[in-house]
Each structure stands twice: as structure tokens, then as C-alpha cells.
Amino acid sequence: MTRESVFVRLLHAAAYAAACAIFAAPLGPESTTVAAGLGGFTGSLLGAFASESRLRSRVLALGVVAGGALAALSDGIFRGTYVVADALGPELALAAGDALIFFFLAAGGVFTLRSLGRRHRAIGVLEISVAGLAVAELFAVHRGGAINRPFELADHVLSMGGDPADVFVAVGAAGALIVAILLLRASKLRRGLFHLLAAFLLLGALGSLFPFFEIPIPDVAQTGVGLRNDGKPERGEGEPKDQEQLDFDNQGGRNNEPAPVAVVVFHDDYQPTSGIYFFRQASLSHWNGSRLVHAAEGLDDDVADGFPHPVLEVKAPSSVRGRREVVTSVGMLAEHFRPFGLDAPVRFEAETNPDPRRFRRTYRVASRVLELSDVELLGARAGDPSWDEATRRHYLEAPDDPRYRALAERIVRELLPPDLRDEPLAQVRAITTWLEREGVYSTNVSLPVTDGEPTAAFLFGDLVGYCVHFSHAAALLFRSIGLPSRVATGYAIAEQARRGGSALLLTDAFAHAWAEVYLEGVGWLVADVQPINSLDPPPPLPDADLTRLLGELRRGEARDEILGEDPPSKLPSLHELFTGISTAALSALGLALLFLYGWKAYRRLSGRGDPTRVYRAQLDALAELGYRRRRGETPEAFARRLEAVLPSLGPLTDAHLASAFGGKRRLDGEAIDALARRLREELARDKHPLRRAVAIIDPFSWLGSR
């Protein structure tokens, strides 16, 4: 086992102290964090010494047991007796007891890891894992795109105008540096310093590049709605590769936390009559014999076919009655195939991105939202008189299956009074109500498809499915009784998710598909199905604090200054931080090189005629060319070893020893300088000029002379 230098031992102890402190930080007050750090430092040093002792490894493994026993003893003394509480007071006694528990647990665990890790390389993997888990545990609440957590850190950073993501990267770099330190196995100070400097420079280089890369978002769940590339496998050769096609067979369900995909900022107050905000991204109206897919060009011209550059206008609803304009700004946190907008978007306009690393795209949307109630919509006829016969057939095309029409007519007959059975809006509400009452919502569905028509398998089967199934069933039932319809995809989220604010955060959990029916003078009307019965729990509403924060970032707002208070101090960005550190490091390196070159020149040029100083200067010259005394080798033995190549070294060594120890055969200054000149000539003959030039440039060469 290689003996470690004191420097490496101290580095390991500091790394363990940091890891233990990070692990303990979320678990208790500052006193326990400090105690855990001290315990890690102590355990690391004791473990390093114990690893070189004659104790068996099985004995060293008991260190963690001993730490646990001492922690339990401390708990019993400080919490289980009245003596300590009476002497220190209950508050101080509890704090001291907690601190000792953390100290002994950290010391015992680190002692075992450090001592066994030095003896057995396999345990070293466990050392690194513990350090990595400590950092990961600290930021576990940051998962799912929650950049506002942990609150203790994120709130402080945000109050200073900083970006929590930059701090998280810096802490991650510190964690990587801790792991690099734990990997150090250098036995010499110089090599340990070199490895540490290399790790620091590598992390610094990577950190300085971070501002130029986009912030990654969490994995987005497979929703089956086709709003973005959510990990669906490519289809086989020869099959269509429409990535926006809806998925009728989603056996995965939802296993991960909802991931933020976009934030919407309202410029106008708007409360939908249904209580749900619908953001339409795409529409599917062409019946291909199996399902509804995207229509050919010229149809569904109220849907954007791409992102605005800089402005994109789409067809507005045919009526202005009961509609008003609502403007929103969207910041996409994940890539989408096309832009989405509230209800009926009519104009998309690109906006300056306030945070290009976080937002993939930013744009403004003007929408014509419907504010009429169902009572006010009664009497509106289905379809648009301006449509030609081909367009009308397109929105009425349905499967050649009489069961659809029979079911739709039965629903209308059973749920509506006679005077409303011919009313298009009443027919729409009757069909959606029946589907809501009879269907069961579940995202874990695998349907046996008959004749390539999955909607029939759902509608005339057990009626268990998710939004894709319900929206198709509703649209095809509408078409079977002469109501022009289509399926729209996008996001649907409850109004209370705004919580009275102007920002609304969309997560992948709110990806949705719904049916739409065209009414004369109204345009496309949302006909969504919300099943009463569900096998899945409802998705959680987005975090209010995260919604507010992302809304502020989308608006490009900084923290407002409060009248009468000092303005908040500005926290440097990660780029500014690494630039400052790099500048300071380069300045320090320049000063260090200047000192090394200056001291090297002083040692080489000072003391002409002085035997000891001349001898030292020649030893420096020899060292930079690779001639160094071995450990334990005397000056005389060193001169004899090089006598064949450098015969002048022997007389110069004798002159130095005579001067240092008072010998009788002392040479004058001119003789000493002459020996030095002859030695330099011998070196010039022995080494190539290029090798000597490189040696002169090396500022560290004199450090190896002895």
C-alpha cells in the first residue's frame, strides 16, 4: 500500500467533511451540519492512519458500529437524563445532543470507508458513491424542472438577481471536485497538486462553457397526443412517420413527475366559461379509414403550420359576436412541433427571448376567445354556409359502421327533450355528457383493434381509455348525425392553476386531445369529454411558486427595488463567476511564474566566486537537464557517478565541501568560476541545444535539485 502525503490526506479529509456537511444540511440546523463536517474530517484522518496499522480489516469495519454506539450513548445522555438539561438548559442540551449524534455517525462511517478504501480498491467505489449521493440528495427536490427548489438556496439566489441553475452547476462542479479528490492516490505532494490543478482546470473549462448551452429539461412522459417528440418509437419501413399522429395504445401510463413544458403569461384577464383553458396546437380532421389525421393543405387553415418569422396570421373565426381578443405570451421550455395558442389563435408574433438558455422559443399570441354561454349559443346551425360540398364532406366523413349513427341517435333521444333533439348544440352536449357518464378514464390502455379501427373497439367495448379515445369517439358520433367536427390537440388546464396570477405553467400532464364542432356564426366550438370515473389520479396542479418564477423570467423581469431599502446586491452569473475566477487564477499563475523565473535567475547568477553558491547554481543547471542526486546519495558519490560525462563536477564538489566544512584546500574565486565554465562546456557537449533551451524555459527545474 502506497503511503500518502500529508497534503493528500488533508485533501481527503476536507472532501469527506464537505460531503458529510452537504448530506446533513437538509436534516437539521447549522450546528448539526458543522458537527457532521467535523466528524467526516476526523473520521477520514483516523481512517487513513488506521489503514496503515496492523489492525485487521474486519476490526476496521466495526468503526461504523462504534460510531452508532457513541451516537446512541450521546442521545441517551443529552436527551434521556435531566442532569445535562439542568446544567445547559433544554434548548442547548438538545442542540448539543443532535450535534454529537451527527458527529459520531459521520466519524464512524467515514472511518470505516476511508480505512477499508485504502486497503481495498473495490471499497473506493463506495466512497465515491457516498460523495455523489450526498450532493444528489441535497438537490433531490430540484427534480422535475423545479428551479425554485430547494427554497433555502433558490430564494436567496433569486433575491440577489441570480439564476439558481448557475448555482446548481457550481455545486455540481464542487461535488465532482470532491469525487476527484477521493480518487487521488498520489504519494507525492507535487503529483497531488498537479492532479488537483488538472481537475480544477477541467471543471473550470466545462463550467465556463455552460452559459452557451441550453438548460436541459426533464424527460417528458409519453402522452400519446403528439405535441412534441416524446420518445415514441419510429414506425416500420413503408409506414407513415407523422410524429404528430395520435397514439391509441399507451401501455406505459405515467411513472414520472410532471415536467414543465411551457409557461403562458396573460396580458388580459380572461376566465373561461367552462373553467378550463384550452390551448390548441394542431387539429386532425381527415378520416383515413382508421383514425383522424392531419388534413391536406387548404383545410384547417385556422391552425399554424410553423413558428412565426416574425409574424404568422391564421384564419379568424367567422363571427365576432361573443368573442373578444386576449393576448398571451408563451415561453416554451421544451421543443414543440408547432406553436399553440389559447382557444382560437389568429396571430402569432415572435418575441425577443429574455433567457435563450431556458426558453426554446418565445412568441406572442392574439386569440379570439368565446365568451357566450350555452344558452346564448342555442339556435346556431351546424357548419358554415360558405363551405363548398367537398369541404362539408371532409368534416362529415366517418366510418362505414351503422353502430355510430344508431348510438348517437339513441343518446339524443334518451337525454334530450323533443324540442331540443334537432338543436346542434344540445346534441353536442348530450353526446359528451353520455361519454362522461359511461366512460372510464385510464392512461394504461391496450385495445384489441378490429379491422384497423381503434375507436370502434373502444366505443363499443368497455369504454376505458384516455383523451385520444374519447375525442375520436365524440367526433365520429358528431359526424354520424351531420355535425361537422374534428379532433384538436394541445393543452387543457383548470383555471385555478393560475391562482389569481397572470402566469400559467403547463406541464406534460396536461397534454390533451378534444373534439371540436363547427357552428355557424361561432366557429369551432370545444366539445371536450371529462369522464366522471377515472382509474388514474388527477394530475397535480403546477407549483405556484415555480409558476410565478417562470412567469417573471418569461417577462424578463428583475427583482423590484423597495423604496427605502438598499437595492439588492447582484449575484454574478456563472459566466461572470468563472471569468472572474479564471482571471484571478491566471493573474496568480502569472505572478507565480514571475517569482519562479526571478528566483531561478537569482540562484543562477548570484554569488560569483563563492564556492557554495556557484555549486548550487551548477546543481540547478544539472537538475534541469535531468542530472539529479538520488535519495540518500552523497555529493561525492553523485560526482563520481557523473565523472565520465562531467569530470569538472568532482573538483567543484570538493571546493564546495572545503568551503562549507573548513577544509585546507580552498580555491580562490577565479578558480571556482573557471571550474563552473568548464562544467557548462561539458554540459553543452553532452546535451542537444534544443534540450538545453527547453530546460531554460522550465520554471520548476531548480525545485528538483538537491
**What is the strand order of the sheet 533-534 is part of?**
464-465, 440-441, 533-534
Mind listing the pLDDT tens digit for each residue in 195-207?
A: 666 666 666 666 6
Is residue 698 scored above 80 in pLDDT?
A: no
Cα gap 344→302, rounded to integer Å: 8
Share of the chain above pLDDT 70, in %: 74
- Classify each residue of 275-292 as buried b or exposed e, where b means 16 or more C-beta atoms within 10 Å of its C-beta: ebbbbbbbbbbbbeeebb
pLDDT band at 459 (very low <50, low <70, confident <90, very high): very high
Is residue 344 scored above 50 in pLDDT?
A: yes
pLDDT of residue 362: 95
Is residue 220 scored above 60 in pLDDT?
A: no
Q: What's the one-letter identity of residue 420?
A: L
Q: What is the DSSP letter of 450?
A: B
CA atoms within 13 A on the CB side of 280: 29
Mean pLDDT for the stretch of residues 54-83: 85
Q: What is the DSSP letter of 24?
A: H
Rounded to the nearest integer, the mean pLDDT of the chain is 80
Per the CB < 8 A criterion, the answer to whether 251 and 444 are in contact is: yes
558: which residues sit within 8 A by CB, 6+ positions away?
161
Share of the chain above pLDDT 90, in %: 32
pLDDT band at 567 (very low <50, low <70, confident <90, very high): very low
Element (H, E) at 276: strand 276-284
pLDDT band at 368 (very low <50, low <70, confident <90, very high): very high
Is residue 484 scored above 50 in pLDDT?
A: yes
Per the CB < 8 A criterion, the answer to whether 701 and 692 are in contact is: no
Is residue 231 scored above 50 in pLDDT?
A: no
pLDDT of residue 430: 97
Indicate the burial class of 646 (C-beta count within 10 angstroms; 0-12, 13-18, 19 or more): buried
Is residue 488 scored above 80 in pLDDT?
A: yes
Neighbouring CB atoms inside 10 A of 652's CB total 25
Length of the chain: 706
pLDDT of residue 239: 38
Mind listing the pLDDT tens digit for each residue in 103-117?
A: 999 999 999 988 888
pLDDT of residue 340: 95
648: which residues sit within 8 A by CB, 6+ positions away?
675, 678, 679, 682
Which is higher by pLDDT, 303 or 687? 303
Which residue carries 391552425 as its cell?
303
0.95 surpassed by pTM = no
- Classify each residue of 395-416 as buried b or exposed e, where b means 16 or more C-beta atoms within 10 Å of its C-beta: bbbbbebeebbebbeebbeebb
Mind listing the pLDDT tens digit for each residue in 512-551?
A: 999 999 999 899 999 999 999 999 888 889 988 889 888 9
Per the CB < 8 A criterion, the answer to whether 703 and 697 are in contact is: no
Quote the cell numbers at residue 33. Answer: 451540519
Which is higher by pLDDT, 231 or 459? 459
pLDDT of residue 235: 39
DSSP H helices in 560-668: 574-605, 611-624, 635-641, 649-661
**Long-range CB contact pairs, 378-382, < 8 A, 24+:** 378/423, 378/425, 378/426, 379/423, 380/424, 380/425, 380/519, 380/520, 380/521, 380/522, 381/424, 381/519, 381/520, 382/424, 382/482, 382/483, 382/484, 382/517, 382/518, 382/519, 382/520
Is residue 54 scored above 60 in pLDDT?
A: yes
Cα gap 94→2, rounded to integer Å: 43
Q: What is the DSSP letter of 42?
A: H
Mind listing the pLDDT tens digit for each residue in 391-436?
A: 999 999 999 999 999 999 999 999 999 999 999 999 999 999 999 9
Is residue 237 scored above 50 in pLDDT?
A: no
Cα gap 380→376, rounded to integer Å: 9
Domain boundaries, the chain: 6-212, 260-555, 597-704
Beta-bridged to residue 493, according to DSSP, are: 277
pLDDT of residue 229: 57
Which is higher by pLDDT, 361 or 126? 361
Which residue carries 477499508 as its cell?
116
pLDDT of residue 13: 87
pLDDT of residue 689: 74
Is residue 598 scored above 60 in pLDDT?
A: yes
pLDDT of residue 156: 61
pLDDT of residue 234: 42
The answer to whether the Cα torsion of 169, 174, 178, 184 is positive or negative is positive
Q: Which of 34, 27, 52 is nearest to 114 (CA)?
A: 52
Which is higher by pLDDT, 41 or 561? 41
Quote the cell numbers at residue 189. Answer: 505532494
The DSSP result for 210-262, as a single string, is GGGSPPP-PPPP--SS-SS--SPPPPPTTS---TTS--S---S---SPPPEEE
Highest mean predicted confidence (pLDDT) among 128-137, 225-234, 333-342, 659-668 = 333-342
